[in-house]
Amino acid sequence: MGSTELKLDFMSKRSQMKGRIKTDSYKSRWFKLTPTALFYYDGKITTGIGKVKGQIDLKTIKVIEKVDGEGLGNKQNVFQIVYNDPNKFESVYTLYIVAAHAKQQEDWILALREAAKMENAQFSPIYHLGVWMYKQGKWSCCGNFNFRNKGCLPSFCATSKNVAREEAQRQSSRDTENLKVLALFEYQSKSKEELSLKKGEELEILSSNLNDDWVKAKNEDGWYFKDISRAQAETILESNGQEGCFMVRDSSRQGIYTLSLYFKPDKKSDGEVKHYHIKQSGNDYFLTEKHKFLTLPELVYYHKHNCAAHTVNIDPKELELREKLGSGQFGTVHRAIYKETTEVAVKTMKEGSMSELDFLEEAKIMAKLHHPNLVQLYGVSANQRPIMIITEYMRHGSLYSYLRRTKHHLMKKQDQLIDICLQICKAMAYLEKNSIIHRDLASRNCLVGDNYVVKVCDFGLARFVLDDEYTSSEGAKFPVRWASVEVLTHQFFSSKSDVWAYGVLMWEIFTCGDLPYLGVENLDVYDHVSKYGNRLEKPDKCSDEIYQIMQKTWQEVS
């Protein structure tokens, strides 16, 4: 039933870029509506449907409405689908589709609404007729400054237009608690107590009485303090005592800005001030690699309205560290007892070895990943330095050590080697489904527990290494022997590069821990693999069928 075709058309779609508007980011696609989902495919109108590029389950849809195309480069006949993505955590996306003509637009809107109703979609009573304009930081239809604002107009399903309008007004009033005005003239301040004005600049009025000759106001850069030291910043923020209060100031290092933020780890704790360097790359400013901005005001606006995700925070006092289990690229690992009852593994991160803000932003997502063959992330201890990562404890250590230790026994147990491969394959398929790239899949990053259970660990952690070449000051080498051609050439990681690494891991398993490309120096691996097209040879105890699978994983991406 799910594959029955209700409607098929050739239209264009805008790339879903989480709010960034680019008038040239459109692609033509075949769209097919079924009773349960909307699919879109590549292909041409002359050649027909190609490969499926994506789908939206109808039951996840919140909005199906027309769009004013002014914010999309004045495109005509645009409609929108706002939906939750079931394969990703806490995500709401908007797909903009451009129909060829008004009738096609109307037909698709009606067909989608009817099909989604049959799937019990929970429609929103309000929506935005316009789009979110990233550079201006507001909705094009109503001027609201909150990206998460749900709407300003009643949707087709609103049971009462008046109720819907009231809801939109409540949303708007929550987002604009203080009066905002525009400066009509230029004004140069004559003292520190006065505020210089630029014509056309937006100001937020903080005074309650507007009849006074002077009122308190804040411009868009009210968070910037030029000549304030670290100690002064801490004094000001601590005296304010408000969670989330912040300032941007000049760092002691010339040309660098620092964000100073006051926060409370929990309601019972005293607040503290943390300082983060605002990094620069070319013309971009950023705190985390994921979110880069052309100006400081854009950076501040985004992080005011999109705070970094909180993850489970574990009090280090509840951890009793036991014996050291090992050390590596990121730090030292100990066995520990959590709350006097639970065995855990605690990884103490080397200070300066990773981008902490980037990691903490992703930690919430990582903690929500649950699979029988993934090492579970329980939480982090982030209120002190160095950061500690707390995971489940795997009694028999790394798969690499296990393979070397039991080589004589395992070489006679081909079924067990295949089972290890299958367990890891299931974990990697789950990571790919959740859009997680491992980047460092190898036997050293898999752990063995009781009853021959194997689990993948450190998934995605390599993303947060600060060294561009993934080489620590202590000489740990970039994992070139597990790297695909595109990683060696362009340092481009994807699920396909994870597939390549999985093939090398299979080779490790069937050799019980031999070094890939033994006899080839690290610096020569690139030429050996990419230039001369060499691949790992078939292990002695490996069947032709298994080796053929390995070879398929080592095909270059065209």
Q: Are 60 and 109 in contact (CB under 8 A)?
A: no
d(CA 327, CA 353): 13
CA angle 41–45–51, rounded 5-degree value: 25
Tell me how far apart the alpha carbons of residues 111 and 96 are, in angstroms, rounded to a whole number: 16
Task: Write down the catalytic residue from 57, 358, 440, 498.
Answer: 440
Q: Pull the structure tokens for residue 62.
A: 């919140």
3-state secondary structure of 399: helix
Return the amino acid letter for 318.
Answer: E
CA 438 – CA 430 distance, rounded (Å): 11
- Find the helix or strand (DSSP H, E) in which 103 lies: helix 102-118
Q: Is 440 a catalytic residue?
A: yes
How distant is the alpha carbon of residue 483 from its chain centre? Answer: 23
* Contact in structure between 386 and 349 (CB atoms under 8 Å): yes
Q: Tokens standing for 395?
A: 């009694």
Q: Which residues contact 269 (CB under 8 A, 6 or more apart)?
A: 383
Q: In this structure, are residues 247 and 227 in contact, taking their beta carbons and an 8 Å threshold?
A: no
Question: In whole angstroms, what is the distance from residue 352 CA to residue 330 CA?
Answer: 10
Q: Is 451 exposed, middle or buried (0-12, 13-18, 19+ CB in 10 A)?
A: exposed
| Tokens representing residue 191 in the block | 């003292």
Tell me: is residue 218 an annotated ligand-binding position: no
Q: Which of 474, 473, 479 is nearest to 525 (CA)?
A: 479
CA dihedral for 310, 244, 128, 130, sign (positive or negative): negative
Q: Which of 506, 508, 498 is nearest to 429 (CA)?
A: 498
| CA gap 71, 68 in Å, rounded | 7
Q: Which DSSP category does 398 fall into?
A: B
Nearest-5° angle of CA 370, CA 371, CA 376?
60
Residue in 2, 3, 1, 7 with CA at minimum distance from that of residue 114: 7
Q: Token pair of 521, please?
A: 């120096």
Look at residues 139, 138, 117 and name the one whose alpha carbon lies nearest to residue 127. 139
Taking residue 149's Cβ as centre, other Cβ atoms within 10 Å add up to 20
Binding-site residues for ATP: 347
Q: Which residues are catalytic?
A: 440
